[in-house]
Structure 1
Amino acid sequence: MKIAFTAPMKPLDHPVPSGDRTMGRLMVKALEAAGHEVTVASTFRSWRKDGSDDIQGAVKADALRDAERIAGDWQRTGYRPDLFLTYHLYHKAPDWIGPALADRFGLPYAIVEASRAPKRKKGDWAFGFAAADAALRRADAVAAIHNADAQCLSAAVPDDRLEVLLPFLDTAPYRRASEVAKPLAALPLKLLAVGMMREGDKTRSYEVLAEALAQLRDRSWQLTIIGDGPNSDHVLKLFPPEKVAWLGALPEDRIAVHYARHDLLVWPAIREAYGLVLLEAQAAGIGIVAGNTFGVPDIVIDGETSLLSAEGDADGFAANLERVLDDPSLADRLGHAASRHIESRHSLEAGAARLDAFVRKAVQTYEARAETAVP
């Protein structure tokens, strides 16, 4: 199947690394592994930090100009995809390009990782909310990335077009790193936190982590932090320097071995959609202590691959860490279960199979809708 692809939240060539960019690239890799031919139709980014009718009206105009450019290219080259697929759509990042091209060329249209916040129906984001809803109505198949998003989407998307498509990753580099570098857990417990140091939820996650670790300051642990950003000075001051090693931001190809050298990933996950780092850590064979946020319980197994506490609950987070400090072998049990869990449910192969079924369902739905629309 020929698939035209776009990612209005963050294009695949965006210079700033993020879980969103990584997941978009993994989607293309998985679709190609399933035998599909994927073409990035547009690298237009519709995401804006601030919303208003004027701001998003201007974005819409730019997007539709890009759609016209693409349509002209397709007509000149004779290219015609079998499906238009959009990755990550919501009120801050609507998709005008996919629906416009799908309507113009008579194509099935599908969305992966959609979310919907009804409180944005009015106010500064009303324009973007309405545009995202219009794309959802046009879509022949919509996939949420976790169950919490699916519940919100159910008010706008019919049940037969909506599903949950769990995230996945290429496990090979993490598995190799684990085979080479994974030690048995022992005191001092080797903890790892991976996250950008920017304002908002990421910084709040570091603050909750620091609050939890402060309760255990006299216990035997060491923390490695991978990440950087404009809030680095504030974040690093939260932790006792004698117990922390800061590695800064690292490229993706250097991170796997650091996961495998540690006993636990510790991340409060404030407002995380699901947390790609939680998948990466489990793939490297280390267990998780995290906050029970949005899609986190969809990608870990509480009590088996992870220990979860309520979002933002530093006391509960500290209590879970203390369980492992009292019994370091628990970290090994969590890690072994984590690697099995990822290989069975969240590998690239598993993701490719789910995506393949999803895009084929979108085509079938479009064809069935077209048949019923014929007078």
Structure 2
Amino acid sequence: MNIAYYMPFKPMGHRHPSGDLVIGTELYNFLHERHEIELVSKLRCRWIFLRPRTLLHLITERRKVLRDGGTRSYDLWLSYHCYYKAPDLLGPWCSKKLGLPYVVFQGIYSTKRRRRLLTLPGFLLNRKALLSAAHVFTNKKKDLANLQRLLPEDRLNYIAPGLHPQAFTFDDGRRQELRRLWQIGEESVVMTAAMMRPGVKTEGIVRVMESCAELLRAGLPLRLIVAGDGSCRALLEKKADTLLPPGSVHFVGQIARDEMAGYYSAADVFAFPGFEESLGMVYLEAQSCNLPVVACGDWGGGEAVIDGQTGLLTPAADPARFTQAIRRLVEDRSLRGRLGAAAGEHIRTNHDLDRNYRQMENTLAGLRACPQKT
């Protein structure tokens, strides 16, 4: 297949890493290994309906894509990650002009966005784009349920999120090396990881610090490892100074993704609530390294973790239960071992990227000759 590929929310190579960017890049890489695929534009549609200059740029991009597309002989158009904040204003128009099936991966539909004047334009533009799609794939079951209110079943598919399990395996050598570096004795190591930006990511790290502080006051021997960086790092380090005893927490900064497996291997528990987290790739990565997870089941944690089998899920509104879940795993080495082993198997069985994306690939092959639905 020859595929026109577009990422309206955040273009590939964007300087701010995120789980969505990882998924979009890995989707591109999977298809690139097996087909012809071209990133047709780097136009970012985030809040585009509030940015007149970018709307003018949209007109220029449409002309450019149309001009270039006339010589490329594309079989279909695939856009990744479209929702009310970043409605796809390029894909539907260009694919129609080029006579291509328009396909969306990770389309999101939420009717509550029509209730606010600020988000209503994005809701309407996103709804229009989704309705024009020949097919929509989603990697979240909650989003599938919402999309089923808008589109017929034959235009929808759930594709479980995935990673390359071989890139995230337990590494005992790295475990010993890092634990020596951190001077870990008999303590259990709790790890958390997130971009340290304002809002729910930072709030999630604070929740983990508060839980660990409570457990340390109760006499549990543990050490907290915090991976990530961002504008709120200084604030979080200051918060840690007020909550946690000296030497009980290490901020290790932003770790390259291909080095994260070593850090997961060095830990005994991965804890991150994931407030409003759409998915949370860290949950998949940690489990792939045989690390049991503590998360809130309200959002992405519930998509990635099997409660009581690969980790422990708690309600977001109950901080005490989140703390208690961490405590259970810190105190019970046998439980940690069982959940960790099951977590690794769960990822290999259900979240292998290549296996899951082959399902999508088969659907794309069937769409390539279909006219665009309007």
Q: Same fold (TM over 0.5)?
A: yes
| 1:1-375 correspondence runs (5 A) | 1-33=1-33, 35-48=34-47, 55-56=50-51, 58-75=53-70, 78-121=71-114, 122-175=116-169, 177-178=170-171, 180-181=173-174, 187-217=186-216, 218-239=219-240, 240=244, 241-363=246-368, 366-367=370-371
Deviation at 1:129, TM superposition (A): 1.4
* Contact preservation (8 Å) 1:228, 1:248: yes
The amino acid across from 2:353 in the alignment is L
Distance in 2 between residues matched to 1:238 and 1:292, nearest whole Å? 26
SS state of the match for residue 11, structure 2?
A: coil
Moved over 4 A (4+): 182-187
SS state of the match for residue 103, structure 2?
A: strand
* TM-score of the aligned structures, taking structure 2 as reference length: 0.90
SS state of the match for residue 116, structure 1?
A: coil
Aligned-residue sequence identity (percent) comes to 29
The amino acid across from 2:31 in the alignment is L
Q: Deviations along 1:37-84, whole A, 9 cap, x unmatched?
A: 221111111113xx8x5x255544422320210111223xx2021110
Paired positions, count: 361
Flag the 1:358–1:191 CA change in 2: closer, same or farther, 3 A. farther
Structure 1 unaligned regions, length at least 5: none
Flag the 1:148–1:228 CA change in 2: closer, same or farther, 3 A. same
Flag the 1:186–1:174 CA change in 2: closer, same or farther, 3 A. farther
Distance in 2 between residues matched to 1:262 and 1:361, nearest whole Å? 44
Deviation at 1:212, TM superposition (A): 1.9
Distance in 1 between residues matched to 2:110 and 2:185, nearest whole Å? 44
Deviation at 1:180, TM superposition (A): 4.4
Flag the 1:166–1:304 CA change in 2: closer, same or farther, 3 A. same
Distance in 2 between residues matched to 1:108 and 1:57, nearest whole Å? 29
Distance in 1 between residues matched to 2:98 and 2:338, nearest whole Å? 53
- The alignment yields a C-alpha RMSD, in angstroms, of 2.3
SS state of the match for residue 260, structure 2?
A: helix
* Contact preservation (8 Å) 1:57, 1:127: no
* Contact preservation (8 Å) 1:145, 1:166: yes
* Contact preservation (8 Å) 2:310, 2:339: yes
* Contact preservation (8 Å) 1:265, 1:289: yes
* Contact preservation (8 Å) 2:269, 2:330: no
* Contact preservation (8 Å) 1:140, 1:363: no
Distance in 2 between residues matched to 1:237 and 1:39, nearest whole Å? 45
Flag the 1:293–1:357 CA change in 2: closer, same or farther, 3 A. farther
Structure 2 unaligned regions, length at least 5: none
Distance in 2 between residues matched to 1:322 and 1:103, nearest whole Å? 56
Distance in 2 between residues matched to 1:215 and 1:169, nearest whole Å? 34
SS state of the match for residue 269, structure 1?
A: coil
* Contact preservation (8 Å) 1:147, 1:298: yes
Q: Deviations along 1:174-216, whole A, 9 cap, x unmatched?
A: 12x5364457999411111110111111011112212222321
* Contact preservation (8 Å) 1:110, 1:141: yes
